Amino acid sequence: EAQVTQNPRYLITVTGKKLTVTCSQNMNHEYMSWYRQDPGLGLRQIYYSMNVEVTDKGDVPEGYKVSRKEKRNFPLILESPSPNQTSLYFCASSLDRNNEKLFFGSGTQLSVL
Protein backbone atom coordinates (compact mmCIF):
# COMPACT_ATOMS: atom_id res chain seq x y z
CA GLU A 1 0.00 0.00 0.00
CA ALA A 2 1.32 3.41 -1.00
CA GLN A 3 1.77 5.50 2.11
CA VAL A 4 3.69 8.05 4.12
CA THR A 5 4.54 6.76 7.57
CA GLN A 6 5.34 9.03 10.50
CA ASN A 7 6.48 8.00 13.93
CA PRO A 8 5.66 8.48 16.68
CA ARG A 9 1.99 9.36 16.49
CA TYR A 10 2.07 11.14 19.84
CA LEU A 11 5.04 12.54 21.73
CA ILE A 12 5.34 14.40 25.00
CA THR A 13 8.74 15.78 25.89
CA VAL A 14 10.41 18.48 27.95
CA THR A 15 12.09 21.68 26.90
CA GLY A 16 15.60 21.15 25.55
CA LYS A 17 15.49 17.40 25.07
CA LYS A 18 16.47 16.57 21.50
CA LEU A 19 13.95 14.57 19.51
CA THR A 20 13.47 13.17 16.03
CA VAL A 21 10.23 12.52 14.21
CA THR A 22 10.72 9.99 11.44
CA CYS A 23 9.04 10.03 8.05
CA SER A 24 9.22 7.39 5.38
CA GLN A 25 7.46 7.00 2.02
CA ASN A 26 7.29 3.92 -0.18
CA MET A 27 6.26 5.59 -3.44
CA ASN A 28 9.71 6.54 -4.73
CA HIS A 29 8.72 10.20 -4.52
CA GLU A 30 11.37 12.84 -5.11
CA TYR A 31 9.69 15.62 -3.14
CA MET A 32 9.16 15.49 0.62
CA SER A 33 8.20 18.17 3.11
CA TRP A 34 7.24 18.87 6.71
CA TYR A 35 4.32 21.00 7.91
CA ARG A 36 2.97 22.06 11.24
CA GLN A 37 -0.69 22.71 11.88
CA ASP A 38 -1.73 25.22 14.50
CA PRO A 39 -5.19 26.59 15.34
CA GLY A 40 -6.00 29.68 13.30
CA LEU A 41 -2.81 29.34 11.25
CA GLY A 42 -3.51 26.34 9.07
CA LEU A 43 -0.65 24.28 7.70
CA ARG A 44 2.73 25.98 7.49
CA GLN A 45 5.70 24.50 5.71
CA ILE A 46 8.81 23.93 7.81
CA TYR A 47 11.30 22.40 5.37
CA TYR A 48 11.14 20.65 2.05
CA SER A 49 13.41 18.49 -0.06
CA MET A 50 13.43 18.24 -3.84
CA ASN A 51 15.63 15.15 -3.85
CA VAL A 52 18.36 13.32 -1.96
CA GLU A 53 20.80 15.71 -0.27
CA VAL A 54 18.73 18.73 -1.37
CA THR A 55 16.80 20.53 1.35
CA ASP A 56 15.38 24.05 1.64
CA LYS A 57 13.68 26.17 4.25
CA GLY A 58 9.95 26.63 4.14
CA ASP A 59 7.88 29.25 5.88
CA VAL A 60 8.79 28.47 9.51
CA PRO A 61 12.16 26.69 9.67
CA GLU A 62 13.48 28.18 12.93
CA GLY A 63 14.22 25.56 15.56
CA TYR A 64 14.10 22.62 13.15
CA LYS A 65 16.56 20.58 11.13
CA VAL A 66 16.03 17.98 8.44
CA SER A 67 18.14 15.59 6.44
CA ARG A 68 17.58 13.64 3.23
CA LYS A 69 20.25 10.97 3.03
CA GLU A 70 17.95 8.48 1.33
CA LYS A 71 15.07 9.06 -1.03
CA ARG A 72 12.49 7.39 1.18
CA ASN A 73 13.32 9.03 4.53
CA PHE A 74 13.01 12.62 5.68
CA PRO A 75 13.37 12.95 9.45
CA LEU A 76 12.50 16.14 11.33
CA ILE A 77 14.91 17.01 14.13
CA LEU A 78 14.28 19.35 17.03
CA GLU A 79 17.67 19.91 18.65
CA SER A 80 16.32 21.86 21.62
CA PRO A 81 12.51 21.80 21.63
CA SER A 82 10.62 24.68 23.17
CA PRO A 83 6.93 24.96 24.19
CA ASN A 84 6.11 27.04 21.10
CA GLN A 85 6.92 23.96 19.04
CA THR A 86 3.95 22.16 20.53
CA SER A 87 1.94 21.40 17.42
CA LEU A 88 0.56 18.80 15.05
CA TYR A 89 3.19 17.85 12.50
CA PHE A 90 2.64 16.33 9.07
CA CYS A 91 5.12 14.84 6.67
CA ALA A 92 4.19 14.78 2.99
CA SER A 93 5.58 13.57 -0.29
CA SER A 94 4.82 13.91 -3.97
CA LEU A 95 6.16 12.60 -7.22
CA ASP A 96 7.63 15.89 -8.35
CA ARG A 97 8.02 19.56 -7.58
CA ASN A 98 4.55 20.58 -8.70
CA ASN A 99 3.13 19.35 -5.41
CA GLU A 100 -0.03 18.15 -7.00
CA LYS A 101 -1.48 15.26 -5.05
CA LEU A 102 0.71 15.59 -2.02
CA PHE A 103 0.45 12.46 0.11
CA PHE A 104 0.39 13.18 3.82
CA GLY A 105 1.24 11.05 6.78
CA SER A 106 -1.25 10.67 9.64
CA GLY A 107 0.44 13.29 11.77
CA THR A 108 2.51 13.52 14.94
CA GLN A 109 1.05 15.39 17.90
CA LEU A 110 3.98 16.88 19.80
CA SER A 111 3.71 18.48 23.23
CA VAL A 112 6.74 20.24 24.67
CA LEU A 113 6.42 20.93 28.39
CA 75 to chain centre: 7
Question: Is residue 89 a contact partner of residue 76, using CB atoms and an 8 Å limit?
Answer: yes
Query: Least Å distance between CB 52 and other proteins?
Result: 16
How far is 11 from 13, CA to CA, in rounded Å? 6
Residue of the chain from 67, 73, 95, 103 that contacts other proteins (CB under 8 A): 103
Site residues (CB under 8 A) for other proteins, limited to 65-94: 90, 92
How far is 6 from 28, CA to CA, in rounded Å? 16
Site residues (CB under 8 A) for other proteins, limited to 28-57: 33, 35, 40-45, 48, 50
Residues in the interface with other proteins (CB under 8 A) total 26
Q: Is the dihedral of CA 4, 7, 11, 13 positive or negative?
A: negative
Provide the binding-site residues for other proteins, judged by CB under 8 A.
4, 33, 35, 40-45, 48, 50, 58-59, 90, 92, 97-107
